[in-house]
Chain A
């Protein structure tokens, strides 16, 4: 039995020995390197560009500008293709642009035989711009007569929303208490330690091979085809180990360009390796949200209604912009499913770096607003914030108020109970003085979240798995789902071992996805893979097992139905301790007997048409240093209902990483934009502070294990959710400590100073 055990991660040794190969670790002699010429204005048009001098530098192979690339506009978002034209991604990019939309936009690209020449060549390109006023905020780009960042868009990409639970106005008028407030979240960046990198070459005159650090090889293949106007089958994407993605690599960024370049330069290998500074502005960021909220609550603690009106800033290009705000609203609808809820979001273009998918896809922004508002409501009616949540959150038997779909598993109340015990909520609150006045003040905070295990029914959910029985009785499993650090390879090996009946150590995983051979799957995003792949792996493993038993039956003369596989041996179904024949003998016979058998394999493609909601919460105790405006986390716990925990150590790892990212989003991180020029001025690790080991505390985590019947192994989403609830929990703890409600992120000393001053603390 492998499920539920912390077996040895299949790629751990490769990674601690440095033998795991990432995109930059495959050398091809003669590889050319390429670098973008990025705009030094945020909004405008290139009037003239002169590349002649750069082209003449020794070592420079070619320079391409917006004049040399296809006219085709394409969409970059890593979504499955949609058969519904109304559901297509927004096609608003060309490979290079004449119309500059953010500071750092890609105007030209230089290809050279070494890196040093590249830098030099970029300096020799002369550009004349016609400059426009940079529209760096939604207010500016929505202003009357604002210039259109994309012609015909009115600077709005789209609107989304829903109304459930009846009339909100009525609910608000009739409720005991009505509240309203406004909450803002900031622009963050993923900061995966491996920057975006890709290279391409051609095998022959037709086929383009792209090796890329991507979360979504199969989608990348399609988008490269679309961008270059080539049949998809001519593109092959190879995804080796990748050094983190967090959503920034759920977007097709470098692949179409390297493919274009190799196509233009005789199929020679060409690599683009973004610098950290480029990666932080030129890939994707997290959408800043500005949410106006209203809530209605009764004195008995019933949450009656929530209304949200959000503006999401997607920056210069759509990327995922048209869907992030909608998905965020949909995933958070499940948290308080018995209240009336109205959600409306508008996503707008601005002249800032393009926002895309980032861990939990808009949910952290919306949940920040919701969980701030819930806190106000609890405090207003004088109810304990945990008790108020327990009374109103989703519980077993509830349903998605929009679709009517019942929750098959929901352990949120148990999560709250456990978190409360872990942090000793009641005890600490009872022991604390009513009003704290000193320079150091303690506070306790809580926040909950809901999320989903995929994108269905908004998008297709498909997974593929192939399992082969080897001659030595080991298995090889290959899936289309991608390992990006979260441990997917290990999980699918556990699933296969469990269902076929072989020891975990006998399962080998093909970690690399190569779209020419890997089963079809849309990739790593939406915390979907362990959930949707579970059904594909389960079916493939069951099918392979049946084939093995059938062949064992032929070899032994015992009917396959009377046999089973246990720990790598064929045993008597009625007496599992009785070994009938070894699996190896069966395998060898299947391969090499001159008449019977063949290679025993199973290959399954599975469409998942369910989407299990997942829940959890954060509890935190902090100390606020009032004079320093600094927050020190004393204890923090995340408690999750992610269904069955497949691998406790890796599951905790997801939580630790997510909580650390959540703490950072709550307290430290923000991309800073110069309001006049639109330039980001902290696009590096020196000025954009992601936490080091001293900046995060010990992180506690627990699971409430439910069983999700729609999943092959009872599991639900876990990858993204841990990041969602820490920021509002910390905010609510600051509120608890100081009585001051901070309504924006990040809660840096800078922000706190502003609020503390307003509140008269200084």
Chain B
């Protein structure tokens, strides 16, 4: 059974007809071509599918597309504007927080939400680790990812 939903995706209004059984991950990838939304487990364990729903990170694999009706979704495709990376994206590049890259879009979104929430606050590396504990990375040991977020927060002109 299909149902019509209206939502905002990366700042653009979308009207979509979605199968009620489909996850948000499937709709974002298959209908909207937002291929940054990766699937690592499909059951909410790895965070590779993290997108922001009304600015809060969620696992798109666990979230039914119909629930997104009336909500606003951000994926990594919407984070760089006019060929310019977002600050968080840039920090990931600068700190070497990218290896195989399969976890990267999800991490960038989780980190973006963390940074937005903690602007101008003092947070420790451990706080950052806790804030990002919903995302798995098998390549980096998290070291440079944590540093990228830390540098981003320390950067006060945001």
Contact = CB atoms under 8 A, between A and B. Distances in A.
Chain B interface size range: 35 or more
Contact of A194 (B40, B79, B128): B40
A268 interface: no
A191 B129 contact: no
Interface in A182-207: 190-195
Interface string A664-695: 00000000000000000000111000111110
A593 B36 CA distance: 44
Interface string A478-522: 000000111100000000000000000000000000000000000
Contacts of B80: 16-17
Interface stretch (B1-9, B63-71, B94-102, B115-123): B94-102
Given A8-B93, A25-B35, A656 B144 contact: yes
Contact of B98 (A15, A193, A692): A15
Interface in B136-153: 136-146
B18 to A, nearest CB: 14
A693 B145 contact: yes
Residue of A243, A275, A484, A487 with highest tally of chain B CB at under 10 A: A243
B141 A657 contact: yes
A17 B101 contact: no
Contacts of A20: 101
Contact of B89 (A16, A190, A652, A661): A16
Interface string A240-262: 01111010000000000000000
A650 B93 contact: no
B94 to A, nearest CB: 8
Contact of A660 (B48, B75, B125, B142): B142
A16 B106 CA distance: 9
Nearest to B34: A18
Given A16-B93, A244-B100, A485-B101, A693 B142 contact: yes
B39 interface: yes
A653 B94 CA distance: 13
B100 A6 contact: no
B39 A24 contact: yes
A269 to B, nearest CB: 15
Contact of B99 (A27, A194, A657): A657
Given A195-B40, A485-B101, A653 B96 contact: yes
Contacts of B13: none
Given A16-B89, A657-B141, A193 B99 contact: no
A653 B46 contact: no
Given A18-B76, A487-B99, A244 B138 contact: yes
A57 interface: no
Contacts of A190: 138
Given A16-B104, A17-B36, A18-B35, A276 B142 contact: no
A698 interface: yes
A693 B93 contact: no
A366 to B, nearest CB: 23
Given A193-B102, A241-B101, A276-B43, A16 B143 contact: no
Contacts of B146: 693, 698
A659 B141 contact: yes
A684 B35 contact: no
B105 interface: yes
A21 B35 contact: yes
Interface in A631-676: 649-650, 652-653, 656-661
A243 B49 CA distance: 13
A116 interface: yes
Given A16-B89, A16-B93, A24-B39, A192 B138 contact: yes
B126 A657 contact: no
Given A656-B144, A690-B136, A684 B101 contact: no
Contact of A276 (B40, B85, B99, B100): B40
B154 to A, nearest CB: 16
Residue of B36, B40, B93 with highest tally of chain A CB at under 10 A: B40
A12 B100 contact: no
A11 B101 contact: yes
B96 to A, nearest CB: 4
Contacts of B101: 11, 14-16, 20, 241, 243, 485
B12 interface: no
A698 B124 CA distance: 12
Chain A residues touching B, majority SS: loop
A699 interface: yes
B15 interface: no
Interface string B9-45: 0000000000001000000001000111111111101
Nearest to A213: B102
Nearest to B129: A693
A194 B30 CA distance: 18
B136 A193 contact: yes
A609 interface: no
A284 to B, nearest CB: 15
A749 B134 CA distance: 23
Interface residues of A, number: 57
A699 B142 CA distance: 9
A191 B103 CA distance: 12
A486 B138 CA distance: 12
Interface string A249-287: 000000000000000000000000001100000000000
Interface in A160-219: 190-195
A242 B21 CA distance: 29
Nearest to A15: B101
A699 B143 contact: yes
Interface in A686-730: 686, 690-694, 696, 698-699
A660 B142 CA distance: 8
Contact of A657 (B92, B130, B140): B140
Contacts of B40: 193-195, 243, 276
Interface in A1-59: 6, 8-9, 11-22, 24-25, 27
A6 B92 contact: no
Contacts of B138: 190-193, 244, 246, 657, 661, 690
B73 interface: no
B35 A193 contact: no
B104 A15 contact: yes
A15 B89 CA distance: 9
A8 B92 CA distance: 11
Contacts of A656: 140-144
Contacts of B54: none
Contacts of B60: none
Contacts of B41: 276, 684-685
A22 B141 CA distance: 22
B155 interface: no
Contacts of A116: 21
Contacts of B103: 193, 243
B100 A694 contact: no
Given A16-B76, A16-B98, A652-B96, A694 B42 contact: no
Residue of B104, B128, B143 with highest tally of chain A CB at under 10 A: B143
Contacts of B95: 649
Given A22-B38, A194-B38, A487-B99, A16 B92 contact: yes
A193 B89 contact: no
21 contacts: A6-B96, A15-B105, A16-B85, A16-B93, A193-B46, A193-B138, A194-B102, A241-B101, A243-B38, A243-B40, A243-B100, A243-B101, A650-B96, A652-B144, A657-B140, A658-B141, A686-B45, A690-B138, A692-B129, A698-B146, A699-B143
| 6 residue pairs, one from A and one from B, having the closest CB atoms | A18-B36, A243-B102, A485-B100, A660-B141, A15-B101, A656-B141
Interface of B: 21, 30, 34-43, 45-46, 48, 75-77, 79-80, 85, 89, 92-93, 95-96, 98-105, 108, 125-126, 128-130, 132-146
Given A193-B40, A193-B136, A685-B41, 5 more contacts: A16-B85, A17-B85, A18-B37, A24-B38, A685-B136
